[in-house]
Amino acid sequence: MKILRADFILICDEEFKIIENGAICFDKKILDIGFENDISKKYPDIQIRYMGENSVLMPGLINPHVHLEFSANRTSLEYGNFIPWLNSVIKNREYILQNSNSALIDSTLADMLHSGTTTLGQISSFGEDLESCLKTPQKVVYFNEILGSRPDTVDILFDNFRSRLHRSDDNRSETFIPAISIHSPYSTHPILAKNALDIARKNNYLVSTHFMESQAERDWLDGRGGEFVEFFNSLMPNAKPLSTAQEYLELFHDTSTLFTHCTKASSKELEIIKDIEGFIVHCPASNRLLNSGRLDIESIDKDMLCLGTDGLSSNISLNLWSEMRIALMMHFEKDLHKLATKLIKISTLNGAKALKLNNGTLEKNRDADIISIKLPDKPNFTKQLALDLILHTTNVDRVFINGKETV
C-alpha cells in the first residue's frame, strides 16, 4: 500500500469535491481517501509521501478520441475548411503514415503520459500502432476502424477489419481493451457498418464513430448536395449518400457508442444519441482548424459529454490541458469557473463512463490512476482551483496507473 498527501485533492466526482490537506491510500485500487490527519491515524505503519508545496492530486486524464497513426503530420495538411483538409489527407496520407513509425508513436504516447493522460481511446485504421499501444503503460481502448463506401470492396474491407479485430483481441488485457470504430455516415457503406455493429452487439464491444463534423456532411446526408458532390464524383461518378443521418444513428441501437464532434447535429439527432445512451466527444481544436463550427455544450446532457483532442491530423497537440484551455476560450459566454470545473469533469469522470472503465474519479474501489501536479503558487481561492489547473498545467509531476508509478 502507498499513501500520498497533497495540499489539495480533486475527487472529480459528481459534486466535484475538493479536500484540503488530504491523503489517499491505495494499491492497485483506491482503498481510502480523506483528510491527512485522519488517514495517518488509520494507517500509522505506512509512510506518507508528500507531493510538495502547492500540490494537487486528481484522477488521470482520459482522452477518448485520438488517431496516433497520423502523428507525423505537422504542416502537410490544409486547414481552414473540411473538404480541402480531407483532400489534403488523401493526397498526403502515404507520406504521413510512413513517417508515423513506432518510434514516433512511442514518443507521442510518452508526451501524452507526461501531460497526465492515463487512458486513451485510439482509433486505429490500419493496425500499425498496435505494438506501441500494447507496450505503453497507459490504458488503451483500441478502436479497430472500418470504412469504405464502394460496394465492390465491401468483402475485402470487412475481412481486413475482422483480421485486425482478432489480432487486437488476442492481446486483450486489463490495460488493453479491443473495440470497434465505424468511421462516419458519409464514408462507411451500411453493409460494413451493420456487420461490424452486429459483432459489437454479440461480443459487447464498445463503439466509436465520427458524426456530423462539418456542414459538407450535413448537406450531403440531407440530400442538398454541397461540397461533397464534387469530392465523391471524383471518386465515384453519380455518387449518392449512403444513408440519412437518422438512418445511420438507428444502426447503433443496443450498442455503447461514442459519437465524436456532432457540431452540425440537429436537436432531434442529439435526442436519439441520448436515447441510445451514447456519449459525445467534443474536440474544440480540431473543430476550429477545420471550420466545423462550435459544439453547443449546454444543449448536451452533462453526463453525455467528454473531451478529446482528435489526432495530430487536425490538431497541434494531444495534451488535454491545452485542449481544455482552447475550450475555455472558445465557449467564452459561459461562466468561467463553472466551465473550468465542467472541463475537468468531462476529461476525467465522464471519459471513464464513456469508455466503461473503473477510473476517472478518486473514490474507494476505483482503479488507482492518479496524477500529481504542482501549481506555481498556493491558490488563494479553492473555488478557482479548477481554473488555476487549466491555466497553469502543461505536464504533471507524478503519474500512477493501477497504483504503479510510471512518471
Q: In whole angstroms, what is the distance from residue 318 CA to residue 109 CA? A: 9
- Cα distance from N-terminal residue to C-terminal residue, the chain: 18
Helix, strand counts (H, E) of the chain: 15, 16
**Of residues 52, 43, 3, 41, the one with CA closest to residue 23:** 3
Q: What letter represents residue 400's amino acid?
A: F
The residues that are catalytic are 213
Within 10 A of 337 (CB to CB), how many other CB atoms are there? 14
Distance CA 361, CA 350 (A): 9
Cell of 157: 474491407
For residue 49, list its beta bridge partners.
Answer: 4
At residue 153, the 3 state secondary structure works out as helix
Q: How far, in Å, CA of 288 to CA of 309, rounded? A: 12
Residue 353, CB half-sphere, CA atoms under 13 Å: how many?
A: 21
Only one residue has cell 472500418, namely 146
Residues 253, 245: Cα–Cα separation, whole Å: 14
Backbone angles phi, psi at 104, to 5 degrees: -70, -40
The whole-angstrom separation of Cα 67 and Cα 144 is 11
Contact 48, 3 (CB under 8 A): yes
Which helix (H) or strand (E) covers residue 178, if one does?
Answer: strand 176-182
Residue 22's Cα: distance from chain center in Å? 29
Residues 6+ apart with CB under 8 A from 127: 144, 164, 167, 168
